[in-house]
Amino acid sequence: MSTRVTDLIHRFEPAADATLPPLLLLHGTGADENDLIPLGRMVAPGAALLSPRGTVLENGMPRFFRRLAEGVFDEEDLRQRTDELAGFIHQAQAEYGIAAPVALGFSNGANIAASLLLRHPGLLRGAALLRAMVPFRETPPARLEGTKVLLLSGTADPIVPAANSAALAAILGDAGATVAHHPLPLGHGLSQMDVALTREWLAGFQETKA
């Protein structure tokens, strides 16, 4: 089922700098469409920002898809929610006149961004995945040549094991994506290192834009 822009609670900020790709901001568990707006402004000043709210509630906390336990995803629900989010992105592009976005996702938002890459290749121009996990036990076939991915993991992350982060980097790289994986001396939370690396990585899109 397609998702109209009006069906999904979200925020949109038009671009002040047309040379930057729009950012799709995907929040973590318990946050909402406002949470990553300040981060988006910091890492890509002037870029259009599209920030939807996750439609699943877990103990009253918004998420983008259900999970069975911490680190154990409801993959049927993940596939459904991913496809719904893809529909929202298409509608938002038409409604707001924006190009293919670069996703910037944290935790649960990074996980559904990884799912978007694998289930809808070409929908995203790239993705910055902050504290992401492998979304599927069996990886969907996808060709991601021309897609850039930044993966920032924490070596002391109690939620995402280092081996899982490395596996995700390998999966995306094997699918043809250009992956920059940086294991950082951090836990699950974000730091100024994440901000600096994401901003530097996003600057490459502006430099290569024709």
Which one from 7, 74, 188, 191 is the annotated catalytic residue? 188
What is the mean predicted confidence (pLDDT) over 24-37?
Answer: 97
What confidence category does residue 6 fall into, taking pLDDT thresholds of 50, 70 and 90? low
Predicted confidence (pLDDT) per residue in 112-169, tens digit? 999 999 999 999 999 999 999 999 999 989 999 999 999 999 999 999 999 999 999 9
Which one from 27, 51, 107, 194 is the annotated catalytic residue? 107
What is the mean predicted confidence (pLDDT) over 174-203?
Answer: 97
- What pLDDT, on a 0 to 100 scale, did the predictor assign at position 1? 39
Q: Cα(25)–Cα(4) distance, rounded to whole angstroms?
A: 18
Q: Is 182 a catalytic residue?
A: no
185 burial type by CB count under 10 A (0-12 exposed, 13-18 middle, 19+ buried): exposed
pLDDT above 80 (res 4): no
Q: Is 10 a catalytic residue?
A: no
- Backbone φ/ψ region at 71: left (φ over 0), alpha (ψ -120 to 50), beta: left
pLDDT above 50 (res 2): no
153 burial type by CB count under 10 A (0-12 exposed, 13-18 middle, 19+ buried): buried
Which one from 35, 157, 165, 194 is the annotated catalytic residue? 157
Question: Structure pTM?
Answer: 0.94
Predicted confidence (pLDDT) per residue in 166-181, tens digit? 999 999 999 999 999 9
- What pLDDT, on a 0 to 100 scale, did the predictor assign at position 206? 73
Q: Tell me the average pLDDT of the chain.
A: 94
Q: Cα(15)–Cα(112) distance, rounded to whole angstroms?
A: 24
pLDDT above 80 (res 44): yes
Show the domains of the chain with their CATH numbers. 5-208 (3.40.50.1820)
Q: Is 157 a catalytic residue?
A: yes
- What pLDDT, on a 0 to 100 scale, did the predictor assign at position 22? 97
What confidence category does residue 70 fall into, taking pLDDT thresholds of 50, 70 and 90? confident
